[in-house]
Amino acid sequence: MWPRHHEPLVILAPMDGYTSPPFRRFIKAVEPRVLLFSEFLPATTIARKPALAEKFFKIYPDEEPVVIQLYGKDAEHFKISAKLAEDRGAAGVDINMGCPAKKVVAHQHGSALMKNIDLACRIIAEIKAAVSIPVTVKTRLGWENADNLIPFSLRLQEEGLDAITIHGRTYQQKFEGVADWQPIYALKEALTIPVFGNGDIDSPERARAWLNNLDGVMVGRAAIADPWLLQRICDAFAETPTANTFKPFRDKLPYWKQFAAMSVEGGEEFRACCAFRKYLVRLVRDLGLSTEVRKQAVSVSTLQEIWDVLNLFASQEETAAVVT
């Protein structure tokens, strides 16, 4: 049913280094109603080495449907990679036209495509001719301002674009300042395809207030800090009360332990555990735990050590609650 739906969609944003299969499966276990995007994946690398598709486009049954996001600048490479993604069960292909990272833009990828509308349109046209699944775009308000957002998006729609997600900041803003959703609402009025908003959604109240005329919201950084936020937003859109709005961490332990096990599974344990440390550090901060606990979190090197640290988080939170 992607990207059209009878009620507002809640979407996990594509985030480099985060939205790999283990994290996506973790999110889906927490809230099955969420639509998942992969982290952005290199169209050129995959097109040149198709065997990599098995690794990059891996989708597990318990996370479906998943939209694969690609980045690059070569229309032919996008076409090849999109077809490979479709063959491996992707629910759709999304083109990254919004990443503001210097190393990405320097290669004319990501946000740079906003300044080359002819190339952006050619990419969409080539992919649409190659696949039957929906083709969408995630981009920003514009380079310096939102003056060209509607003309740019209309051109993409003319090429057959199925939906578009707008992050409410310009390239120049990066992630500074407050996201501006007003141009996104105006864009929705100008297009006939679904339009989704992204940027600064950190509560169900804000999600409902900012939804306005849009077809759904995409949540990024706040979902890393609090995956259960997505559940609360889904409930807010469905106008149903959330019985477990703020669970104690001990109730969340099974989910986190399963996530850790999936992260380590099938790979080199030490490297996987090192990569998992970023989640533990974020939890230390969000739970307000001590520096000593953080030291343990940043030194985990086995799955058992991750589980021990997660158990410690739960006990520390309970101790703090008693003291309070």
The predicted-structure confidence for 219-230, as pLDDT tens digits, reads as follows: 999 999 899 999
C-alpha–C-alpha distance, residues 86 and 309, integer Å: 39
**pLDDT at site 321:** 55
* Residue 317 pLDDT greater than 90, yes or no: no
H or E element, residue 10: strand 9-12
CB-based contact 113:161 (threshold 8 Å): no
Tokens of 139: 């981009």
**pLDDT at site 323:** 43
CB-based contact 14:38 (threshold 8 Å): yes
**pLDDT at site 322:** 47
* Residue 245 pLDDT greater than 80, yes or no: no
* Residue 125 pLDDT greater than 90, yes or no: yes
- 287 sits in the region (left: phi over 0; alpha: psi -120 to 50; else beta) called alpha
Q: How far out from the chain centre does Cα 289 lie?
A: 27
Mean per-residue pLDDT of the chain: 95
CB-based contact 204:171 (threshold 8 Å): no
Tokens of 60: 């597990």
Torsion angle, CA of 186/190/195/196, rounded to 10 degrees?
A: -10
Query: What is the arithmetic mean of pLDDT over 293-305?
Result: 97
* Residue 170 pLDDT greater than 50, yes or no: yes
C-alpha–C-alpha distance, residues 204 and 273, integer Å: 32
Q: Catalytic positions, please?
A: 99
Is the pLDDT higher at 139 or at 321?
139
**CB burial class (10 A; 0-12, 13-18, 19+) of residue 76?**
middle
CB-based contact 217:233 (threshold 8 Å): yes
**pLDDT at site 319:** 73
* Residue 192 pLDDT greater than 80, yes or no: yes
Question: Which of 55-69, 97-111, 185-199, 306-320 is least confident?
Answer: 306-320
Count of CB atoms within 10 A of residue 190's CB? Answer: 13
Name the pTM for this structure: 0.94
Tokens 């597990």 correspond to 60
Tokens 């080539």 correspond to 126
C-alpha–C-alpha distance, residues 232 and 245, integer Å: 7
- Find residue 279's DSSP bridge partners: none
- Find residue 71's DSSP bridge partners: 42
Count of CB atoms within 10 A of residue 191's CB? Answer: 16
* Residue 152 pLDDT greater than 90, yes or no: yes
The pairing of beta strand 41-42 with beta strand 66-71: parallel
Give the three-state DSSP class for 31: coil
